[in-house]
Structure 1
């Protein structure tokens, strides 16, 4: 329906209202919208509101119980609360003025506390508000705050990444990528605290010094890295493997205390370690000696004692001819015996 603009609102007045009040509407005595600000038309979703019945477009929320122009007339000089009748049901509040001579009701509207949501939802910019609208300054503040929060999140992400990286580096052997002694102790403390069963395995590479002496330290580092890779391929992802010294390694097998099963795994590991490693066209041959002990062998497992016992078992393997696996077994009278054999 085409509704003519009242003579009282000539072209100059219309342009002034569009510039100064982009969120305004003018309602005729018959309840039709005769003029609407560009921003209001933009958020309506239906384009221009001119010619629509006010009652078809808006629901008056406050004052309650009144609708249409009657509700507007009841709120002259005070606040009126509206919302669109179509999704997303945008809420507005405003002030009503009446030109009784022309039978026109003018509402100047705002988003109130919902302005930030409206700006995001409808893609509004400073051009959609009156030049002197304090909302513009608030939007600048919101934008600045959003930018600051975004930068803060980025900084926190970088700091968190740096923290995790530092923690990883602090628990990682830089040459092999395995855990270091610090990480090993933490794993053992956690296992004992949680009363989890585990097996502690101590391995020393045999003939490694000869590789270092013959091929140099760079070749020795390559051999250590290759040996670490072999170990990782034999243990489970849930197990902890640590390099605790030059050519010394310790593994913790969680929830495993079957000595026979551990011995067979270690024998397979030694066999794999003995496969010659090619380093710069040179062949490096090493082997390994292993000693282990199980937490189930102790009434109260203690890290120091278990490490010492696994070490004793390791050197029993070396004394027995190397390339062997030996399980430490403690006796009630304080003596010890070793259960081992060649691989």
Structure 2
């Protein structure tokens, strides 16, 4: 075959330099299909009907008539592949030396859809083709988006870690006072203030260690810190996953127990905690035994939603437990 100017082109050269070409006779017989075009329309070699249509609005959908008009009138050709509705082919055509119609097609703005639909790569385009430049830009864009996505994920993780650290007691790993305030405020706010949230009672336990000062005074602050760490481990073992354990200062701890209303269950829990903390008494401490006093209040939906009021009530219960001889729990 030869181009319009008479230069001969082999079929292999045609496929190599025009991977989106279509060569056909005036009767519609397809003589050659470029390899890239064949990926989008694998059976195009069998003929145009049912595979290509004229995509120009207001014109006949007959692809052969549209091709002949574009080739002989040197106009622009717009076709659509039937099994890929969103992919539009645009191009021009000429008659080669044998009188056949030779089309060179492209994707225009539907390039990204064609790449996705047929899984095209840079091997499917001529290196000098503008599509190659667009593909490089597309790959670069994907790379940048991937990096940005990873960066955003890392930033979100770092922010979450920073927030968690700001709400965590460094010595024990429990929530600190700020973390407790947030958890308690949320527990009270979500009860009775929004119709979609079911009201859930809350038990608040204020715990203070007995004879902790003697540990610090006689054995040193390192021994005191070790005792606090081990007390925190006891509390972690005793609370449920939905509960909150916090160290609010010195040797004071607070437990927030969601849905807990049983006084007997709270007394049993208190006894287990007191018993476990007694076992933590350092052997060097011979004059007294470390223990714990607990003040407990039960909050029911509809009562005050003031966290400070609830903490004050728990503190009063703790004071009563201390006044009654320590190493016990008082429930208000």
TM exceeds 0.5?
yes
TM-score by length of 1: 0.78
Give distance in 2, aligned partners of 1:135 and 1:55. Answer: 25
Given the alignment, which residue of 287, 291, 295 partners 1:291? 295
Task: Describe the shift of the 1:68–1:205 C-alpha distance in structure 2 as closer, same or farther (beyond 3 A).
Answer: same
SS at match of 1:173: coil
- 1:136 match: 132
Summarize deviations over 1:98-136 as a string: whole Å, max 9, x none. Answer: 428733111111123331133244443334223432222
> Is the aligned partner of 1:62 residue 2:55?
yes
SS at match of 2:257: strand
- 5+ residue gaps, structure 2, are 193-199
**Per-residue deviation, 1:214:** 4.5
- 2:141 match: 145
- 1:341 match: none
Give distance in 2, aligned partners of 1:124 and 1:7. Answer: 27
Residue correspondence of structure 1 range 171-186 to structure 2 within 5 A: 171-186=167-182
Aligned partners of 1:291 and 1:326 also within 8 Å = yes
SS at match of 1:322: coil
Give distance in 1, aligned partners of 2:281 and 2:117. Answer: 64
Greater RCO, 1 or 2 (C-alpha within 8 Å, sep 6+): 2
Could you tell which deviates more after superposition, 171-180 or 312-321? 312-321
Summarize deviations over 1:217-237 as a string: whole Å, max 9, x none. Answer: 333323222211211222222
Given the alignment, which residue of 66, 69, 72 partners 1:74? 69
Residue correspondence of structure 1 range 59-138 to structure 2 within 5 A: 59-62=52-55, 65-67=60-62, 69-76=64-71, 77-83=75-81, 91-99=87-95, 102-138=98-134
Task: Describe the shift of the 1:58–1:299 C-alpha distance in structure 2 as closer, same or farther (beyond 3 A).
Answer: closer
Could you tell which deviates more after superposition, 115-124 or 171-180? 115-124
**Per-residue deviation, 1:73:** 1.1
- 1:273 match: 277
Could you tell which deviates more after superposition, 173-182 or 21-30? 21-30
- 1:331 match: none
**Per-residue deviation, 1:278:** 7.7
- 2:185 match: 189
- 2:195 match: none
SS at match of 1:22: coil
Aligned partners of 1:31 and 1:68 also within 8 Å = no
Calculate the aligned-residue CA RMSD, in Å: 3.4
The alignment covers a number of residue pairs equal to: 317
- 1:38 match: 35
Aligned partners of 2:201 and 2:301 also within 8 Å = no
Aligned partners of 1:204 and 1:288 also within 8 Å = yes
Aligned partners of 2:2 and 2:97 also within 8 Å = no
Give distance in 1, aligned partners of 2:176 and 2:229. Answer: 14
**Per-residue deviation, 1:323:** 0.9
Choose between structure 1 and 2: higher strand proportion.
Answer: 1
**Per-residue deviation, 1:286:** 2.5
Given the alignment, which residue of 17, 26, 29 partners 2:26? 29
**Per-residue deviation, 1:92:** 4.2
Give distance in 2, aligned partners of 1:11 and 1:57. Answer: 32
- 5+ residue gaps, structure 1, are 329-343
Aligned partners of 1:73 and 1:96 also within 8 Å = no
Task: Describe the shift of the 1:90–1:282 C-alpha distance in structure 2 as closer, same or farther (beyond 3 A).
Answer: farther
Residue correspondence of structure 1 range 240-319 to structure 2 within 5 A: 240-276=244-280, 286-296=290-300, 300-319=304-323
Task: Describe the shift of the 1:33–1:210 C-alpha distance in structure 2 as closer, same or farther (beyond 3 A).
Answer: same
Task: Describe the shift of the 1:192–1:258 C-alpha distance in structure 2 as closer, same or farther (beyond 3 A).
Answer: same
**Per-residue deviation, 1:297:** 11
Task: Describe the shift of the 1:211–1:108 C-alpha distance in structure 2 as closer, same or farther (beyond 3 A).
Answer: same
**Per-residue deviation, 1:143:** 1.7
